[in-house]
Amino acid sequence: MSGVDFLLDSLGEALGLIWSGNRDVYSAVSVSLQVACAATAITTLVGIPLAFLIYGHRFWGRRLVITVLNTLLALPTVVVGLFVYSFITRRSLLGPLDLLFTKKAMIFGEVILALPIVVALAGSAVVSLDKSVKETALTLGAGSSRVLIIMLREGRLAFMTAVAAAFGRLIGEVGVSMMLGGNIAGVTRNITTAIALETSKGQFSFAMALGIILMILALGVNFVLRYAQGKGGVG
Amino acid sequence: MSRTAKEIIVRISDLVVTYGTEPVLDLPLLEFEKGKVHVLVGPNGAGKTTLLRVMNGLERPTKGIVEVFGRNLHALPRSERLAQMRRMTLSFQKPYLFNTSVRRNIEYGLRFRHIDSSEKTERVESSLKTLNLVELQYRNARTLSVGEMQRVSLARALALRPALVLLDEPTASVDQANRHRVEAATSELQAGGCTVVAATHELKQAYRLSANVVRLERGRLAPPALENLLEGEIIRKDGSSFLSVGGVLIHALSHGAGFVRAAIEPSAIIISRERIESSARNCLPGKVIALSELEDRVVATVDVGLKLTVHVTRESFDELGITLGSDVFLTFKASAVTVF
């Protein structure tokens, strides 16, 4: 069998697995989506207010906080995995909570992974939002909460980009999922850990099916974002 | 009107605003009377914008009191300050318009005030008409030119119907054709009982808007910008334009008509004991009613049916032998009369 035949056959089988609704494939997809969506939601709820606090105010040590955040952006996923592992392993501080190798542990790790991304990107949005957005709202008689809503509205595309970037990073990460989820079939096995495992087992078509779905998800996020940007003209 | 009868809407006392070590505003006392149009005039960096921002509560003064509607704005608790801020608005020189349609931009401030929908519509429509924005109302505000944006910003202020409107260089980027609309909107605000404080660097515009002009130089109050400021009607007679002030007719170059403000530079007026035959169109007989000294000059106030101030060098003054009560003639060209 030539190299091209091998690739074409694998692709055919992969598409077959997707089309036939293979349980193992969609179980991994489901875990990926559940964990990434939950982690993205939590990160958004925590990260955007944090971005306003850190980037929208002057305080002692602000530069240091921003430098640390920027450093955390490049943090390898396995290091985050290791860090969280050290807290939740059975003999550690949070051991009694029995989190290791659960989806909760994966979500915990992914929130830590995504938080610097959301804070830094949303922070840039806060900074780039003209000072006069806030001042204009104030001159029109807006109270503090209204001012915040207006700033979120005016910077909506930048904030959405921050959230999409975080989701993109989480859906495709493997280190945290592997170390904290343990790749337990049907429970914590997600797209990326399944790809890593099945490829090493020689199940290339299965891995390729998951790879295709991952690509579609990434493309989907980008299309949604593009569409939102296109609609962003008049709010 | 006597001083006690005046109703003051903004009183600024001992105000100092410092950026770094440099004071950018230092005003011992400044008052703005209710229901009038006031204009702050001065070059860039004179402190006009800072003063407007301090009056609106966007900026805290380093020291001093800013009393707006009778209360020290910067000493109020947050909720009361917000209530005070809702009674006024500030339109910036470079206005920020929200990323939505022109119409919704104008509605914005009304939403915070929970104005009912029929009144909201009425106010928006009326503001759109006044500022010639009806055709642009559904355009995204971000696609407008800077001048159009300034008009939207003013329409947004107009719709709020506040008690006090602060305008920072309201016509800075507005094209000539729409300038008069902005100036008319200012008059409309005043007619509605609103007090307007506008900042401009353009002296002519300042006097077109109002006779209440406050001049700022490097953050301090400067002497009034103009002497011999006159208010009258432009009339045409025998093919010439005259400024009619209290029955006195003064030759002036103006293509306009109706009520205007005008000024005559004191050093452009020649004072003489006899009538001078010259090309100058104006030669008015009068009587010297006051004399004072200003550095190397003598300042004479002459009653020619209206009071005009004339500056003459001490040498000329001595040669002419003018004293209080002297009968004199004032001669000046029609072009020396600046019509605003």
pLDDT value at residue A111? 97
Most B CBs within 10 A among A130, A134, A136, A151, hence the mutation to make, goes to: A136
To the nearest 10 degrees (0 to 180), the angle between helices A23-56 and A156-171 is 140
Chain-chain contact of B112 with A142 (C-beta, under 8 angstroms)? yes
Which residues of chain A does B164 touch, with a Cβ-Cβ cutoff of 8 Å? none
Please indicate whether residue B76 or residue A234 has the higher confidence score (pLDDT). B76
Q: Rounded to whole angstroms, how far apart are CA atoms B205 and A205?
A: 77
- For chain A, give the number of residues: 235
Chain B nearest-CA residue for A146: B112
Chain B nearest-CA residue for A136: B96
Q: Rounded to whole angstroms, how far apart are CA atoms A182 and A169?
A: 19
How much is the average pLDDT of B76-100?
Answer: 93
**Closest residue to B90, CB basis, from A130, A139, A146:** A139
pLDDT(B137) > 60: yes
Which residues of chain A does B91 touch, with a Cβ-Cβ cutoff of 8 Å? 139
Chain-chain contact of B92 with A136 (C-beta, under 8 angstroms)? yes
Q: Rounded to whole angstroms, how far apart are CA atoms B249 and B284?
A: 9
Q: What angle do CA A129, A132, A135 make, to 5 degrees?
A: 120
How much is the average pLDDT of B11-26?
Answer: 93
List Cβ neighbours of A33 (8 Å cut-off, separation of 6 or more). Answer: A171, A217
pLDDT digits (tens, 9 = 90+) for A124-141: 999 988 788 999 999 999
pLDDT digits (tens, 9 = 90+) for B36-50: 999 999 999 999 999
How much is the average pLDDT of B236-264?
Answer: 89
How much is the average pLDDT of B24-45?
Answer: 94
Please indicate whether residue B260 or residue A234 has the higher confidence score (pLDDT). B260
CA B226 to centroid of chain Cα atoms:
12
Chain-chain contact of A234 with B100 (C-beta, under 8 angstroms)? yes
pLDDT value at residue A235? 39
- Give the phi and the psi of residue B297 in degrees, each rounded to 5: -115, 160
Residue B264 Ramachandran class (φ > 0 left, ψ -120 to 50 alpha, else beta): beta
pLDDT value at residue A112? 96
Chain B nearest-CA residue for A151: B98
Q: Which residues of A lie inside 8 Å of B (Cβ-Cβ)?
A: 130, 132-133, 135-136, 138-143, 146, 150, 153-154, 232-235
- Rounded to a whole number, what is the distance in Å from the CA of A226 to chain B's nearest CA? 17
Chain-chain contact of A132 with B96 (C-beta, under 8 angstroms)? yes
**From residue A7, how far is each of A191, A198, A209 by CA, in Å?**
20, 16, 12
Most A CBs within 10 A among B52, B99, B156, hence the mutation to make, goes to: B99
pLDDT digits (tens, 9 = 90+) for A28-45: 999 999 999 999 999 999
pLDDT digits (tens, 9 = 90+) for A99-114: 999 999 999 999 999 9
Quote the mean pLDDT of chain B.
91
Least confident of A184-188, B103-107, B189-193: B189-193
**Closest residue to A154, CB basis, from B90, B91, B99:** B99
Q: Which domains does chain A have, with CATH numbers?
A: 29-231 (1.10.3720.10)
Band the pLDDT of B226: cuts 50, 70, 90.
Answer: confident
Q: Which domains does chain B have, with CATH numbers?
A: 8-221 (3.40.50.300), 229-339 (2.40.50.100)
pLDDT(A233) > 80: no
Note the ipTM here.
0.74
pLDDT value at residue A232? 55
pLDDT value at residue B3? 46
Structure tokens at A234: 């008049």
Q: Rounded to whole angstroms, how far apart are CA atoms A1 and A30?
A: 34
How much is the average pLDDT of A200-216?
Answer: 93
Q: Which residues of B lie inside 8 Å of A (Cβ-Cβ)?
A: 56-58, 82, 85-86, 89-92, 94-96, 98-101, 108-109, 112-113, 140, 142, 156, 160
Q: Are A178 and A110 in contact (CB under 8 A)?
A: no
Chain-chain contact of A136 with B96 (C-beta, under 8 angstroms)? yes
Three-class DSSP category at A136: helix
pLDDT value at residue A234? 40
Band the pLDDT of A1: cuts 50, 70, 90.
Answer: low
For chains A and B, what is the number of CB pairs under 8 angstroms? 58
Residue A175 Ramachandran class (φ > 0 left, ψ -120 to 50 alpha, else beta): alpha
- Rounded to a whole number, what is the distance in Å from the CA of B179 to chain A's nearest CA? 23
- pTM value surpassing 0.80: no
pLDDT digits (tens, 9 = 90+) for B92-102: 998 999 999 99
Quote the mean pLDDT of chain A.
91
Band the pLDDT of B225: cuts 50, 70, 90.
Answer: low
Which residues of chain B does A146 touch, with a Cβ-Cβ cutoff of 8 Å? 112
Structure tokens at B45: 């960096």
Please indicate whether residue A115 or residue A229 has the higher confidence score (pLDDT). A115
Among candidate residues A54, A13, A49, the one with its CA nearest the CA of residue A208: A13
pLDDT(B243) > 50: yes
Q: Are B115 and B142 in contact (CB under 8 A)?
A: no
